[in-house]
């Protein structure tokens, strides 16, 4: 089940304010990269995909990497490493903070999984681990792999 709310251009305005509040300039490139995430806010994009989408606007790879790092540092994006590739998703205002991921082994699509029961289990496990190891746990990454609905259908039709 997905739990991503529809975007709103007001989101870009408030993210712009946050960036400026942190002493950074809201450049043309940063705006373009942010727009990709806001307009595709149910997606998980990697640097190459963003580059391919924006190369006609002459935004270079190193600018993209630097911006992704800045946005991650400011908690605007969340970075998820899957099979050695870093994917990014819009985190701020949009998503449930704790959710899991599913990646299809066939088409590589990444989907969000949000389930309240699992969230409660996670909070329980977090408590147990914090008590046992005296950690302060801030986040968790759980990735399931398998076949997505589309691919199951495709294989069935063959």
Contact residues: Zn ion, CB under 5 A: 89, 104, 106-107, 112, 148, 151
Instruction: Give min distance, CB of 42 to Zn ion, in A.
Output: 9
H or E stretch covering 116: helix 116-133
Instruction: Give min distance, CB of 130 to Zn ion, in A.
Output: 24
46: left (phi over 0), alpha (psi -120 to 50) or beta: beta
| Max Cα–Cα distance, the chain, nearest Å | 56
Burial of 24 (0-12, 13-18, 19+ CB in 10 A): middle
- For Zn ion, give the closer residue by CB, 59 or 111: 111
Is 104 annotated to bind a ligand? Reply is yes
**Beta pairing, strands 100-104 & 143-146:** parallel
H or E stretch covering 146: strand 143-146
Is 151 annotated to bind a ligand? Reply is yes
Q: How far is CA 84 from the centre of its chain?
A: 15
Tokens matching residue 77: 């994006």
- For Zn ion, give the closer residue by CB, 30 or 91: 91
- For Zn ion, give the closer residue by CB, 92 or 104: 104
Instruction: Give min distance, CB of 83 to Zn ion, in A.
Output: 15
- For Zn ion, give the closer residue by CB, 29 or 86: 86
Instruction: Give min distance, CB of 34 to Zn ion, in A.
Output: 17
- How far apart CA 12 and CA 33 sit, in angstroms, is 11
SS3 92: coil
- For Zn ion, give the closer residue by CB, 54 or 148: 148
Instruction: Give min distance, CB of 155 to Zn ion, in A.
Output: 10
Binding-site positions read 104, 107, 148, 151
Binding-site positions for Zn(2+) read 104, 107, 148, 151
């Amino acid at each position: 089940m997905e739990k991503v709310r529809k975007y709103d251009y007001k989101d870009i305005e408030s993210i712009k304010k946050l960036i400026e509040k942190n002493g950074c300039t809201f450049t043309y490139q940063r705006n373009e990269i942010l727009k990709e995430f806001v307009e595709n806010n149910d997606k998980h994009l990697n640097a190459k995909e963003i580059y391919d989408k924006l190369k006609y606007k002459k935004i270079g790879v190193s600018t993209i990497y630097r911006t992704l790092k800045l946005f991650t540092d400011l908690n605007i994006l969340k970075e998820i490493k899957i099979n050695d590739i870093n994917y990014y998703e819009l985190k701020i205002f949009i998503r449930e903070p704790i959710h899991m991921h599913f990646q299809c082994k066939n088409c590589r699509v990444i989907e969000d999984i949000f389930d309240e029961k699992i969230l409660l289990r996670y909070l329980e496990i977090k408590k147990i681990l914090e008590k046992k190891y005296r950690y302060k746990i801030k986040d968790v990454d759980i990735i399931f792999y398998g076949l997505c609905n589309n691919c199951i259908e495709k294989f069935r039709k063959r």
